[in-house]
């Protein structure tokens, strides 16, 4: 899940506007930002079985430090600290920390298997990227539409703004289609 996480940030900002939208966006995507950085530096790995035609179902992945549950609790604490620093409020801390933790929850429904800490520990999540990636993308699309609707309701958003936001989220889900089919 990629844009689905950003969609949750829209809901958080709508419900607690004292948190800047950029902070909500970064918190919701923090685990993937960490993962992307660790992939570039070679600490974590995402290796397709066939690099010419990569598929989600054929990936060998290692996201121990970015996505396993114990490190995620640390990233959640970091998010909460930043939320408190930005708002001087425990509510802001809970929202920003909650966004980080909710990333892990959503990945449980639409993502790879994760683990408690390391591949030898018990795994968590449905692992739909590995067994049914199209269903995983469908779940992400539902999350995106629901969050965008929540964000846009009771606003005076112009048509181009609503259409643009929905379009970006749908395209964001579709980006992964070639890897799921």
Partner 1 sequence: MTTLVLIAVFYVLIMIFARGVVSTPESNNTDAEACQS
Q: Which is nearer to partner 1, 40 or 122 (CB)?
A: 40
Question: By CB under 8 A, is residue 33 in contact with partner 1?
Answer: yes
Minimum distance from residue 9 beta carbon to partner 1 (Å): 8
Which DSSP string corresponds to 37-51?
Answer: HHHHHTSSEEEESST
Question: By CB under 8 A, is residue 86 in contact with partner 1?
Answer: no
Question: By CB under 8 A, is residue 127 in contact with partner 1?
Answer: no
Rounded CA separation 4/174 (Å):
12
Nearest Cα neighbor of 98 from 76, 67, 125 is: 76
Question: By CB under 8 A, is residue 161 in contact with partner 1?
Answer: yes
- Residue 67 near residue 104 (C-beta atoms within 8 A): yes
Q: How far is CA 88 from CA 84, 91, 92, 93, in A?
A: 5, 9, 7, 8
Question: By CB under 8 A, is residue 170 in contact with partner 1?
Answer: no
In whole angstroms, what separates CA 76 from the centre of its chain? 13
- Could you say which residues in the range 130-159 bind partner 1, by CB under 8 A? 151-152, 154-158
Name the residues that contact partner 1, by CB under 8 A: 2-3, 6, 10, 13-14, 16-18, 21-22, 25, 29, 32-33, 35-37, 39-40, 46, 151-152, 154-158, 161-162, 164-165, 168-169, 172, 175
């Amino acid at each position: 899940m990629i844009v689905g996480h950003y969609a949750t940030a829209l809901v958080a900002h709508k419900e607690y506007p004292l948190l800047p939208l950029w902070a909500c966006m970064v918190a919701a995507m923090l685990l993937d930002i960490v993962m992307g950085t660790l992939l570039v530096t070679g600490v974590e790995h995402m290796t397709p079985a066939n690099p010419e035609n990569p598929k989600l179902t054929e990936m060998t992945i290692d996201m121990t430090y970015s996505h396993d549950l114990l490190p995620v609790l640390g990233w959640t604490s970091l998010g909460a600290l930043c939320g408190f620093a930005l708002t001087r409020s425990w509510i802001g801390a809970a929202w920003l920390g909650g966004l980080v933790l909710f990333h892990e929850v959503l990945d449980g429904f639409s993502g790879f298997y994760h683990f408690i800490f390391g591949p030898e520990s018990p795994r968590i999540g449905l692992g739909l990227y590995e067994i049914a990636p199209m269903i995983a993308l469908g779940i992400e699309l539902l999350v995106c539409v629901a969050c965008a609707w929540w964000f846009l309701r009771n606003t005076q958003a112009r048509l181009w703004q609503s259409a643009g936001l929905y379009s970006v989220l749908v395209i964001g889900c579709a980006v992964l289609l070639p890897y799921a089919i």
